[in-house]
Amino acid sequence: MLISTGAWTRRNLPVILSTLSLLLGWEIVCRAFGIRPFLLPTPSAIWTAVVPVWPNIAMHTAVTLRTVMLGLLASIVVSLPLAMLIASSRTVSAAIYPMLVLTQSVPKVALAPILLVALGANEFSRVIITFLVAFFPLVVSSVAGLLATPPELVELGRTCRATRVQELLRIRLPYALPFVFGGLRVAAALCVVGAVVAEFVGADSGLGYLIQTSMAFFRTPVAFGAVVILAIMGIALFQLVEITERLIVPWSSNLDNNFNEEK
């Protein structure tokens, strides 16, 4: 995984250039059309607004990050066993899947205020909301992976007299891991959404809370700063999932191209 700086620059140059030109275009448009800062602040105005209150923003970021990570953890802890249960028995699948779809057809944003009243305006209920927003794609892709295991591998297990638990843990689960990570990427992004929704509804800290209170006083640049930090958080989580996947699932075909490149 050692990449020379030259290669790194070459690979990331397009995204660096596109980001820079986006910021530049934004700045120019705002100045040229005289857009008022409380409607759309320029990137430089956001920067000057955020820097002086940096410790405060860092605190809010830490709070949100904590909710996001706990929500992601809860999603993993619940989704994997649930997926295994669904994949291992048709009866369980028939009983649980409709309920899962039901939880997904209810808009979680609408549920958030109700849950906060029921569970109290504390971190626990924010983690629950985050979890509810994020866990579904993880379950779905894990089940898909467990069921996508080639029948030959399952038969190999049978001829080796593997028990059903062994078949699940030693053959199906490792095979499903690339699928699990696919779901995990989506879940990581959704966790950020879930945490912010929960903070909008009931919180006294966090980036979602910061956005709401800033806008109440028309401090738009600070709100924008919080949005940018949320975006960075989402990207970082996505990268974290990808790096973990490389470490845990080095055989995954998703990573084949990179593997050959570095060989």
Partner 1 sequence: MISLARVGKTFKTRRGGHVQALDDVTISVGADEFVAIVGASGCGKSTLLRMVAGLVQPDIGHLTLDGKVVTQATEGTAMVFQAPTLLPWMNVERNVTFPLSLSGRDVPEARERGRALLRAAGLAGFEQRMPRELSGGMQQRVAICRGLVQKPRILLMDEPFGALDALTREEMSLALLELWQANPMAVIFVTHSISEAVLLADRVIVMSPRPGRVAEIVEVDLPRPRSFDQEASAEFHRCSKLIRDRIYGGGSRAH
Interface residues with partner 1 (CB under 8 A)? 150, 152-153, 155-162, 166, 170-171, 174-175, 177, 249, 251
- Per DSSP, 65 falls in state H
Query: Which of 20/165 has CB closer to partner 1?
Result: 165
Query: Which of 18/258 has CB closer to partner 1?
Result: 258
List, as one string, the DSSP characters of 12-32.
Answer: HHHHHHHHHHHHHHHHHHHHH
Query: Which of 14/250 has CB closer to partner 1?
Result: 250
**Alpha carbon of residue 198 to chain centroid:** 15
**Helical (H) or strand (E) element with 106:** none
Q: How far is the CB of 174 from partner 1 (least distance, A)?
A: 5
Q: How far is the CB of 141 from partner 1 (least distance, A)?
A: 18
Query: Which of 217/251 has CB closer to partner 1?
Result: 251
Query: Which of 175/200 has CB closer to partner 1?
Result: 175
Radius of gyration of the chain from its Cα atoms, rounded to whole angstroms: 22
Burial-class residue 90 by CB neighbours within 10 Å (0-12, 13-18, 19+).
Answer: exposed
Helix 173-201 with 207-216: angle, nearest 10 deg? 30
**Alpha carbon of residue 212 to chain centroid:** 22
Q: How far is the CB of 28 from partner 1 (least distance, A)?
A: 51
Q: How far is the CB of 93 from partner 1 (least distance, A)?
A: 21
Half-sphere exposure in the Cβ direction for 215 (13 Å, CA): 13
Query: Which of 126/172 has CB closer to partner 1?
Result: 172
Are the CB atoms for 203 and 126 separated by under 8 Å? Answer: yes
Q: How far is the CB of 176 from partner 1 (least distance, A)?
A: 11
- Per DSSP, 149 falls in state S
